[in-house]
């Protein structure tokens, strides 16, 4: 296949390597094509190459990237999704398969015009493995590959073929899940990152400077676990109020991490090997550190993550006091006001919500 990977970051590089390794003709659509020499590789935690491949090209030209592509895999942040979708719509004559990873963040709405013209659109629930760039355009470190991936498509009748393609590329068992809303509601970063940030910086306001800031995961604490579990429970209550969407694949984080209590959750998250050493998003200033409010942990995971879950709760008629408090805290300190709104895509009530997600 002619495959275009949108984004040359952590996940984009990981996808490009696996696609090229399987013999596909790979183009990377990136703002920095000059950093690529054609060879990409994946290394493990010891720096040993585990996967490698040659891509056809890296380009910043959308015409080159999209016009003849059979399959376009989008790996950009949720904040860039609508612009990316519009560019792909403009520069494709045929109907390439379009995928996104991870599947939450409102991408299905951003690509609505592509779906309505006949593109098959799908999402992968979570990334195949933790990925961190070693050198952009060349090497990415990937650890903790999942044993199973979940895929949903719009229209949903096409999900089987999408799952088969991802399974072929990664060699990981890939299961079809009933509706795309399962991906939209997945409580990964929109719950994991947001609750941790609120717990870490609950007392922050302009002028507060921290001498030091804990590691994001490795020094996870009980206050973060308590809020995480409370918000996670509210997600499950939303899912329970929407039985027509078959949301059984929206797995509770307590189940995902096998941690039913606050203490167990803290112990689990702080001990995950793939999370070791990951820092909290901060900016160094005179005297210490302040939160990096421009980080994707803030701009994407609140405004294109938790706020989507909250809007679904409104459609479902479910109260979410802990999610509300977390969003309210963020809005008091946010420096970027852009956020996802279902109403921008004509989804204004439960009827229009059902019509879109049950296609």
Half-sphere exposure in the Cβ direction for 306 (13 Å, CA): 32
With left for phi above 0 and alpha for psi between -120 and 50, is residue 87 left, alpha or beta? alpha
Please tell me whether residues 191 and 178 are part of one structural domain: no
Q: What is the pLDDT of residue 274?
A: 83
Please tell me whether residues 313 and 237 are part of one structural domain: yes
Please tell me whether residues 224 and 298 are part of one structural domain: yes
Which residue, of 183, 202, 232, is where some domain finishes? 183
Question: CATH code at 82?
Answer: 3.40.50.720
pTM confidence score: 0.91
Which residue, of 137, 167, 183, is where some domain finishes? 183
Q: What is the pLDDT of residue 224?
A: 98
Which residue, of 129, 154, 183, is where some domain finishes? 183
Q: What is the pLDDT of residue 359?
A: 82
- Structure tokens of 349? 């009530």
Q: Which helix (H) or strand (E) holds 288?
A: strand 288-291
- Structural domain boundaries, residue 164: 2-183
Q: Which of 324, 354, 329 is nearest to 342 (CA)?
A: 354
Can you give the pLDDT of all 359 residues of the chain as single tens digits? 999 999 999 999 999 999 999 999 999 999 999 999 999 999 999 999 999 999 999 999 999 999 999 999 999 999 999 999 999 999 998 899 999 999 999 999 999 999 999 999 999 999 999 999 999 999 999 998 999 999 999 999 999 999 999 999 999 999 999 999 999 999 999 999 999 999 999 999 999 999 999 999 999 999 999 999 999 999 999 999 999 999 999 999 999 999 999 999 999 999 998 889 999 999 999 999 999 999 999 999 999 999 999 999 999 999 999 999 999 999 999 999 899 999 999 999 999 999 999 98
Please tell me whether residues 26 and 146 are part of one structural domain: yes
* DSSP label of 303: I
């Amino acid at each position: 296949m002619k495959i275009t990977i949108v984004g040359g970051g952590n996940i984009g590089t990981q996808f490009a390597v696996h696609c090229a390794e399987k013999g596909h003709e790979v183009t990377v659509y990136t703002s920095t094509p000059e950093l690529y020499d054609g060879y990409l590789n994946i290394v493990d935690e010891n720096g040993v190459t585990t996967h490698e491949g040659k891509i056809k090209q890296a380009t910043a030209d959308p015409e080159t990237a999209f016009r003849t592509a059979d399959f376009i895999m989008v790996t950009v942040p949720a904040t860039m999704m609508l612009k990316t979708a519009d560019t792909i719509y403009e520069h494709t004559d045929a109907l390439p398969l379009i995928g996104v990873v991870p599947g939450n963040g409102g991408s299905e709405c951003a690509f609505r015009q592509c779906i309505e013209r006949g593109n098959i659109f799908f999402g992968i629930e979570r990334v195949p493995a933790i990925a961190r760039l070693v050198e952009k355009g060349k090497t990415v470190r990937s650890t903790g590959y999942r044993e199973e991936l979940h895929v949903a498509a719009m229209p949903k009748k096409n999900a089987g073929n999408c799952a088969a393609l991802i399974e072929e590329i990664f060699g990981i068992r890939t299961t079809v899940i009933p509706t795309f809303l399962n991906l939209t509601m997945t409580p990964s970063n929109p719950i994991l990152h947001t609750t941790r940030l609120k717990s870490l910086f609950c007392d922050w306001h302009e002028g507060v400077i921290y001498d030091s800031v804990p590691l994001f995961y490795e020094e996870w604490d009980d206050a973060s676990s308590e809020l995480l579990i409370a918000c996670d429970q509210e997600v499950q209550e939303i899912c329970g109020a929407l039985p027509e969407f078959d949301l059984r694949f929206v797995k509770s984080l307590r189940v995902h991490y096998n941690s039913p209590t606050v203490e167990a959750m803290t112990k689990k998250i702080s001990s995950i090997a793939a999370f070791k050493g990951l820092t909290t998003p901060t900016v160094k200033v005179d005297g210490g550190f302040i939160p990096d409010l421009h980080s994707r942990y803030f701009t994407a995971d609140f405004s294109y993550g938790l706020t989507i879950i909250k809007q679904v709760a409104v459609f479902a008629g479910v109260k979410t006091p802990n999610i509300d408090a977390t969003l309210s805290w963020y809005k008091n300190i946010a420096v970027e006001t852009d956020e996802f709104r279902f109403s921008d895509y004509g989804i204004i009530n439960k009827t229009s919500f059902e019509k879109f997600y049950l296609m």
